[in-house]
Structure 1
Amino acid sequence: MKRLLGFLLVLVTLLALAVGAVITMVVVGVRSRDRRFIRAFTKFQRDVVNPEVLKTAGDAGQQFSVIEHVGRKTGKAYETPVGARRDGDGWVVSLVYGREASWVQNLLAAGSGVLHTDGRRHRVDGFEIVPIDSAPLPEDEAKAITFFGITEALRLHDAGEVDEASVPAADTAGEES
């Protein structure tokens, strides 16, 4: 019995160290803006995390919204989950992976997109990249932003609600976040 408990203790310790190493790697990778890390991590997020988040993102009462955008290279419609916060006549989204993220580049190139948030779809335009300090964020989110070293946000101007029928079908796996 003592031997089994010792084995379990070692196993739990190794698991905790592995989880700690992964968390450290993610924080360091995001803070350093290492392109190789960001590319690999966003591919994992796009292929594994986003499909699950997209099942409820944008629905009334959900934490995450969905930005619907058109690929500047592919011309395909994509959906990417984002954390949009209301800000005056629009929204603000913290740029976790910076302004180089594909969804950001797609929006900037197209000049508009659709934000699905709280059960409604809004055409968004008039994009502006701003310092994260000027974005209205809840305190718990502000702490995470500081921890990950996020420095910019994207302001989205609300250009009005969109009729469901006018929104093209999207690749629900999403594009790079």
Structure 2
Amino acid sequence: MDTLRSKAVRGRERIMRAWILGIGGAVVALVVLLLAGLVLSMRLKWQPGLRFVRRLGRDHFNRAVLRTAGGPGESTHVIRHRGRRSGTAFRTPIGLSPTGDGWFVMLPYGRTPDWLKNVLAAGEAEVEVDGGVHAVTDPRVVSRAHVAPLLSRAERTVAAVFGVDDFLLLRRAPVQARR
């Protein structure tokens, strides 16, 4: 009797283990599919996919990131800009990499984000970097070839995986003499 009961328990445990592994495998497969969809959307510049990812960031992640972005030692920075039609002040989290006279920004979504259009239309903005605020001017979108010598190995890899061909150059605005 005990052996029959233990066999039944072992059988149920085996079924439960298979069921849990099946669910775990399905979750892993779903995550892999979502990541593949993200990479393909970015590489192919498929607008519906890019809009979804941008909206997801704007509506769910940006507020949390903005709490610390631009602070000392943070890897995420902030660009301050004004709406080209509304004049509303905005803060958008971005990744900046230094150049000799300013910074460059990788543009994984291409030239379509509103913040980019706002900065290009205004011809100026401010960036929050390591706890300081810096005025930037002369924003220009350039190709990957133009910034290639400035890219780290990690940046080259990210640009290649996501098919990033556009970069925004920002020059540090000259410091105005105070009177």
1:157 aligns with 2:166: no
1:57 aligns with 2:66: no
Q: Which runs of 5+ in 1 are unaligned?
A: 163-177
**Amino acid corresponding to residue 140 of structure 1 in structure 2:** A
CA contact 1:121–1:161 (8 Å) conserved in 2:
no
Change (3 A) 1:142 1:46: same
- Structure label with greater radius of gyration: 2
1:91 aligns with 2:91: no
Q: Give the Cα–Cα distance (whole angstroms) in 2 for the partners of residues 73 and 12 of structure 1.
A: 48
Match of 2:24 among 2, 12, 23: 12
Q: Give the Cα–Cα distance (whole angstroms) in 2 for the partners of residues 161 and 55 of structure 1.
A: 28
Q: Give the Cα–Cα distance (whole angstroms) in 1 for the partners of residues 21 and 70 of structure 2.
A: 42
Matched residue count = 162
Q: Give the Cα–Cα distance (whole angstroms) in 2 for the partners of residues 144 and 74 of structure 1.
A: 34
Q: What TM-score comes out, normalization by structure 2 length?
A: 0.86
How much has 1:141 moved relative to structure 2?
A: 2.1
1:101 aligns with 2:109: no
2:85 is paired with a residue whose SS is coil
1:42 is paired with a residue whose SS is helix
Match of 2:154 among 137, 140, 145: 140
Match of 1:21 among 33, 43, 60: 33
Change (3 A) 1:61 1:161: farther
1:92-131 paired onto structure 2 within 5 Å: 92-131=104-143
Q: More relative contact order in 1 or in 2 (CA 8 Å, sep 6+)?
A: 1
Percent identity (aligned): 31
Q: Give the Cα–Cα distance (whole angstroms) in 2 for the partners of residues 161 and 132 of structure 1.
A: 29
> Whose helix fraction is larger, Structure 1's or Structure 2's?
2
Q: Give the Cα–Cα distance (whole angstroms) in 1 for the partners of residues 92 and 175 of structure 2.
A: 19
How much has 1:160 moved relative to structure 2?
A: 5.0
How much has 1:144 moved relative to structure 2?
A: 1.2
Q: Cα RMSD (Å) of the superposition?
A: 1.4
Change (3 A) 1:123 1:151: same
Deviation above 3 Å: which 4+ runs of structure 1? none
